[in-house]
A and B are shown apart, each in its own frame.
Chain A
Amino acid sequence: MLLQGAAIFSALIVLALFGFLVYFTLPLFSEGQFMELFSWHWRPFHGEFGILPMIAGTVLLAISAVLIAYPVGLGICLFIHGLGPTWLARPVLFLVHGMTGVPTVVYGFVAVFFLVPLLRTHFAHGTGFSLLAASLTLSILVLPTIVLLINTQLQQIVPTLRMTTEALGISRVHELTRISLPTASYGLLAAAILGFGRAVGDTLIALMVAGNAAQIPGSAFDSIRTLTAHIALVVATDSQSTIYHSLFAAGLILFMTTTSVNLLLHQIKRRVYREEQSA
């Protein structure tokens, strides 16, 4: 009863949040400025309030961060579950657990003083504050999410298979790549989706490292601005202005993105559950 109440309450909070965002975006509709949001230029003093560059920046950054972190994360998981020496498995897992506790600002800070100057001096193009710098930094942030999710899945699967595979004389590599990983496919998918969600939601790394130019990047060395960084940058403007209202639209898009990520994960979980039932 109490739990049900709590569940309803938290659902109501989420709905209220959604309602507020829509409510604050409404002035844009009534003033006919809503379509202006879908322009490629953010030049508020010329009456252009396009947030498409920020949407593109967010998507590009999140995808590239996951693309960098995912193979590394998968590698770490395979290392833990048999490819590496057994005595190293626990310390590695411990390290990854520890990474979840590092405040985002520390990563951002290190990147500003180490990674950004490195990129600036070693590549002739750009200022160092770039899509590349941000995605490298962000990939470290999403790495533990990916590792821990895949690891949880493998922990359930590997022990049940190992006796059989060893009896059949199947090598570790074969066991992991041909049997365990395919069995864990939903977990692998969930890790990618959750990593993406985490990358989309991060504000500080993008704000500190990505350069925040509201443009479509021509290369990985160009500066980008994400939706989250955009909101953080612009939120202190005159609250009567269109600039201010456009932020709620940006918030709405972020909210819907993370909600869809959660719904997708829920779907995956349900499917896994159903398959376990039928098996």
Chain B
Amino acid sequence: MRSRFLSGLCSAIFLTFFCTLPAVSGELDQFTSLQGKIDIAGGTAHIPVMKDAARKIMTQYPRINITVAGGGSGVGIQKVGEGLVDIGNAGRPVSSKELSQYPQLISFPFAVDGVAPIVNPANQIINLNSAQIKDIFSGKISNWKDVGGDDAAIHIYSRDEASGTRAVFWKKCLSKGDIVESANIVPSNGAMKVAISQDRHALGYMSIGHLDATVKPVALDNVAPTQENAINGSYPVVRKLFMNTNGAPEPLVKAFINYILGADGATSITRHGYISLK
């Protein structure tokens, strides 16, 4: 008696859940005749967008199975090159060394991610020029008063060598200049936000997509690090996010890439704080 009630309840929930879904959009129609498995690995910045798409596709088409794993840009390129996954994500272009090892790789850029210098909201600094930022990170300037702030030591926060965020910031903002060894290293964009939001005298950098009111972005050479400035090209510290396939993608993978590049993908990309290329 009780089990019948339970199963009835379950199927009711099940039905309500699934009957409300299919009305969402026509972009998913391209998957109608497809089935199989897509394995995705690589850059961690991509994960929220990939997971969004995977969840939407899989709930409507149970015969399609999509797995999303991280690992970092290097891992993504290596795995797709070796044929271990169908899509390898990377937060940077495929290097010439990697391309000579895996000549079949095709890249599909789908979003832009900017990296902004950030300070504590209590800090009065609103702009730094690139020479000042380079001098601060290399240790030549170590007090906020030398760049127009309080008389206090600058607490530098940076990221580890595996970080794509660090790679862009180091290349495009610091021109591959030195970062002092005494800089604190935090393991993620989230940890960076926590550290900077607590430390009045901190200077760090993070993905524009992760910005919120607990930290304050600093203009670079009088250009504010906003999504608009990243799109129109006036803010220089940006990178593209890529999906890579080994050779021309098979129909199911191709459909997935088209979906990410389409309107649904663009909405998801914007919602997660990145800038759609659409």
Contacts and interface: CB of A to CB of B under 8 A. Distances in A.
B74 A239 contact: yes
Contact of A236 (B162, B183, B191, B198): B162
Contacts of A212: 160, 184-187
A233 B185 contact: yes
A233 B160 contact: yes
A207 B161 contact: no
Contact of B162 (A117, A213, A235): A235
Interface string B16-43: 0000000000000000000000000000
A121 B28 CA distance: 54
Q: What bracket does the count of chain B residues touching chain A fall in?
A: 20 to 34
B47 interface: no
Interface residues of A, number: 35
Contact of B187 (A41, A222, A232): A232
A183 interface: no
Nearest to B157: A127
A39 B155 CA distance: 26
A235 B70 CA distance: 12
A228 to B, nearest CB: 12
Interface string B38-62: 0000001000000000000000000
Q: Is the interface of A mostly helix, strand, loop or mixed?
A: loop
Contacts of A128: 199
Given A44-B161, A127-B155, A213 B74 contact: no
B198 A116 contact: yes
B194 A215 contact: no
Interface string B149-161: 0000001010011
Nearest to B73: A238
A227 B161 CA distance: 15
B74 A223 contact: no
B264 to A, nearest CB: 29
A183 B170 CA distance: 59
A236 B181 contact: no
A19 B153 CA distance: 47
Given A239-B75, A239-B78, A129 B184 contact: yes
Interface in B162-194: 162, 170, 176, 181-187, 191, 194
Interface in B78-134: 78
A206 B181 CA distance: 17
Interface in A193-247: 207-208, 211-215, 222-223, 225, 232-241, 243
A129 B182 CA distance: 11
Interface string A104-115: 000000001100
B195 interface: yes
Interface string A36-57: 0000011111000000000000
A215 B181 contact: yes
B187 A214 contact: no
Given A212-B184, A223-B184, A235-B162, A45 B74 contact: no
Interface of A: 41-45, 112-113, 116-117, 120, 126-129, 207-208, 211-215, 222-223, 225, 232-241, 243
Q: Would you list the 6 A-B pairs with minimal beta carbon distance, nearest first?
A: A238-B74, A236-B72, A212-B185, A236-B162, A233-B160, A127-B155
Given A129-B184, A212-B160, A236-B74, 6 more contacts: A44-B161, A213-B182, A213-B184, A213-B185, A237-B161, A238-B74
